[in-house]
Amino acid sequence: MSTPETVPVDPAFAARARLDADGAARLRERAARDPDGVWRELAGRLEWMRAPTEIRDVSFDRDDFRIRWYADGELNASVSCLDRHLDARGDRTALIVEPDDPAGEAQRISYRELHARVCRLGNALRNLGVRRGDRVTIYLPMTADAVVAMLACARIGAVHSVVFGGFAPQSIADRIADCRSKLVITADEGCRGGRRVPLKANVDAALKLAGTNSVETVLVVRHTGAGIDMQMPRDRWMHAVVDGQPDVCEPERMNAEDPLFILYTSGSTGKPKGVLHTTGGYLAWAAWTHEQVFDLREDDVYWCTADVGWITGHSYVVYGPLANGATQVVFEGVPNYPDVSRFWNVVDRHRVTIFYTAPTAIRALMREGEAPVKRASRASLRVLGSVGEPINPEAWRWYYEVVGDSRCPIVDTWWQTETGGILISPLPGAGPLKPGSATKPLPGIRAALVDAEGRAVEGEGEGNLVLLDSWPGQMRTVYGDHARFIETYFSTYPGMYFTGDGARRDADGDYWITGRVDDVLNISGHRIGTAEVESALVAHRDVAEAAVVGYPHDIKGQGLHAYVTLKAGVEPTDALRAELVQCVRSAIGAIATPDRIQWAPGLPKTRSGKIMRRILRKIAEGAADQLGDTSTLAEPAVVETLVADARAWS
Ligand code: WTA
């Protein structure tokens, strides 16, 4: 059986769905006619200490810039995620924690127990001097501790900054220094695919590199029990500080526009930006989208495979699902350990109904064939989701036919760290699906395409993806650099939020995201700034210059191709190549490992000295016959050498 170009909504699914075609159409119509009414209703799903009367106050105009939602409302995110469930559903399982080790027992944590753990840690943090507005860096494995740590920060009004456990000490150091964290929460070690990750040792190294004395305390979770170096009085065991704390903790009364968290993400220039999200709008958007896009129901067991170190883990592991009182799987491991049936075994073991993962994982598993999938029943599944990068139609079909047995709708969800939650996605009961298309903006979302000059592309066509108006989950600023926020997102096309993505819109009005149009790479669904990798490379004493571009990669979506010019007299050797790879891994982390390093006698530049990345991209893609206009090249011969040398890869 082959999947057609358009997969109609299953009438049985639509009949039970939260939003069917009519419902979605009515909501779209209302959102256009009475947006404030719809946005007010959206806020109504949260537990407010003071309900907002002001709904939205937005201007994308540079001279009069503001993004404020529910600005006179007061709430605490942890109350919406925990306390309000206690009466009616306190004993319901919030988290099913599946450890890396498949022989290990999954731990079930009820809402009541999660609440108590969050309260104990909230009290402990207050005792350690953490106050409202202070920043706390979290560098933990994908376990319940990470969820507890985030919510405990929210409880006391501290701003968490979660750093993905795969980042290297230098990256942790930069993130700690940028927001001047007062406290770091980590674990002795993490476990991934049977291997240990030295989290505490990485934090120690980071604090030496950070060049700040802001960090007063490092809280350490005992996870694997490995022997680690504890530096007293700075380092404290988590169990020791929470032990004996009361399991109630007065939640801080936060304004809707008070910061909830900072999450660093890569842009096209400079160091990663601290994307700042606030409390009310973010939480409302995460919760509403989680419920509608996944068609969440009372009896669902939801599983999002993302790590809490990324925005997907923030919005669709922690805040959205918990605000909705969902039961979900939290998985510490990886898809191919102990073997490539792991995902599907976990699905069967916990009877997962909604499964949300990244195309890169699907492509990697697809390569292993159908047998490892078919060994598991997967009968519990009813909705599948995709996030993080474009899903190619081939992978979409495999996900649909093989994983979902052609009976589960796939929601291909487009969004970004900056958007806080999903903006473009099918609603699974409301409209047909198209393999490879994220379909339509959600109700209330005003997406558009513009050409290079910012002129609207109407109807069918291709262009840069922008948003013409705000939504509650939009980021509010770059931490510590509001000018950079406006410059990065609102200056390319004045009056519009520019996503950095390109897209095509078909005759049905469905969007097909084509990928980044800026210097951001998307490697296995992870955002990597070319500038960050380049600066890691040029930090090596033998490197004169480096330029990094992406090229299509079967599994990772994009691979990382680095052109490196060595200093005069330096011999290009395999040993040096390995050293450079190591430089990047230890500056950023394994996720940024270059796939290829090409020695470049010179880089193609314009006469004014600007590197012509467009040309480097074409060469890396193996499309040297499509270099386009090369008349502005300062030294055309450079390109010929690069093209000849690059043949080795194609
Ligand atoms: C890409 C991840 C196509 C896009 C939530 C975006 C996607 C970047 C999709 C944000 C999708 C995310 N289809 N591309 N469904 N989802 N992207 O900040 O290029 O880690 O700009 O947020 O991922 O990555 P981020």
User: Mutate which of 282, 399, 415 to test ligand 1's pocket (most atoms within 8 Å of Cβ)?
Assistant: 415
pLDDT band at 3 (very low <50, low <70, confident <90, very high): low
Quick: pLDDT tens for 556-578: 999 999 999 999 999 999 999 99
What average pLDDT does the structure give for the chain? 96
pLDDT band at 245 (very low <50, low <70, confident <90, very high): very high
**pTM recorded for the entire structure:** 0.97
- C-alpha distances (whole Å) from 144 to each of 94, 114, 308, 331, 606 are 10, 9, 10, 9, 52
Centroid of ligand 1 to alpha carbon of 234 (angstroms): 38
Question: Which two structure tokens, joined as six digits, stand for 578?
Answer: 């390995």
The secondary structure of 420-440, three-state, reads: CCCCECCCCCCCCECCCCCEC
- C-alpha distances (whole Å) from 596 to each of 69, 201, 559, 576, 584 are 45, 29, 8, 13, 12
Q: pLDDT at residue 480 above 70?
A: yes
- Residues enclosing ligand 1, CB less than 6 A? 265, 310-312, 386-390, 412-417, 438, 499-501, 513, 515-516, 522, 527
Residues 406 and 493 sit within 8 Å (Cβ to Cβ): no
Q: Whose alpha carbon is nearest atom 7 of ligand 1?
A: 389
Is 538 annotated among the ligand-binding residues? yes
Residues 136 and 379 sit within 8 Å (Cβ to Cβ): no
75 beta partners = 48, 254
Give helix 574-587 / helix 530-538 axis angle, nearest 10°. Answer: 120
Atom of ligand 1 nearest to the CA of 526: 20
Quick: pLDDT tens for 306-354: 999 999 999 999 999 999 999 999 999 999 999 999 999 999 999 999 9
Backbone angles phi, psi at 315, to 5 degrees: -85, -35
Residues 548 and 534 sit within 8 Å (Cβ to Cβ): yes
Centroid of ligand 1 to alpha carbon of 266 (angstroms): 12
Residues 252 and 132 sit within 8 Å (Cβ to Cβ): yes
Centroid of ligand 1 to alpha carbon of 327 (angstroms): 25
Is 148 annotated among the ligand-binding residues? no
Q: pLDDT at residue 298 above 60?
A: yes
Atom of ligand 1 nearest to the CA of 438: 15
Atom of ligand 1 nearest to the CA of 527: 20
Centroid of ligand 1 to alpha carbon of 499 (angstroms): 10
Q: Whose alpha carbon is nearest atom 11 of ligand 1?
A: 414
Lowest mean pLDDT among 229-233, 266-270, 439-443, 478-482: 266-270
159-162 and 259-265 beta bridge pairing: parallel
Is 522 annotated among the ligand-binding residues? no
Q: Whose alpha carbon is nearest atom 25 of ligand 1?
A: 416
DSSP 379: T
Q: Which has more confidence, 213 or 269? A: 213
Question: Which two structure tokens, joined as six digits, stand for 212?
Answer: 């700040």
Is 312 annotated among the ligand-binding residues? yes
User: Mutate which of 399, 501, 517 to test ligand 1's pocket (most atoms within 8 Å of Cβ)?
Assistant: 501
Q: Which has more confidence, 638 or 580? A: 580
Q: Whose alpha carbon is nearest atom 15 of ligand 1?
A: 414
Whole-number Å distance between alpha carbons of 600 and 578: 16
Lowest mean pLDDT among 8-17, 63-72, 143-152, 619-628: 619-628
Q: pLDDT at residue 79 above 80?
A: yes
Centroid of ligand 1 to alpha carbon of 226 (angstroms): 36
Whole-number Å distance between alpha carbons of 32 and 45: 20
The continuous run of DSSP H or E covering 207 comes out as helix 199-209
What is the arithmetic mean of pLDDT over 525-542? Answer: 96
Is 421 annotated among the ligand-binding residues? no
Percent of the chain beyond pLDDT 70? 99
pLDDT of residue 497: 98
Q: Which has more confidence, 269 or 491? A: 491
527 beta partners = 522
Q: pLDDT at residue 589 above 60?
A: yes
pLDDT of residue 587: 95
Centroid of ligand 1 to alpha carbon of 310 (angstroms): 11
Q: Whose alpha carbon is nearest atom 10 of ligand 1?
A: 416
Q: Hunting for tokens 């501790």 — which residue is that?
A: 145
Amino acid letter, residue 553: H
Lowest mean pLDDT among 370-379, 589-598, 636-645: 636-645
Is 632 annotated among the ligand-binding residues? no
Centroid of ligand 1 to alpha carbon of 384 (angstroms): 17
What is the arithmetic mean of pLDDT over 263-291? Answer: 95
- From the list 318, 313, 125, 114, the residue with the least C-alpha distance to 218 is 125
Q: pLDDT at residue 1 above 60?
A: no
pLDDT band at 4 (very low <50, low <70, confident <90, very high): low
Centroid of ligand 1 to alpha carbon of 417 (angstroms): 8
What is the arithmetic mean of pLDDT over 105-134? Answer: 98
Atom of ligand 1 nearest to the CA of 516: 19
Whole-number Å distance between alpha carbons of 185 and 322: 21
DSSP secondary structure of 245-294:
--S--PPP-EETTSEEEEEEE--SSSSPEEEEEESHHHHHHHHHHHHHHT
Quick: pLDDT tens for 591-607: 999 999 999 999 999 99
pLDDT of residue 268: 83
Quick: pLDDT tens for 178-199: 999 999 999 999 999 999 999 9
Centroid of ligand 1 to alpha carbon of 579 (angstroms): 31
Q: pLDDT at residue 208 above 50?
A: yes
Is 50 annotated among the ligand-binding residues? no
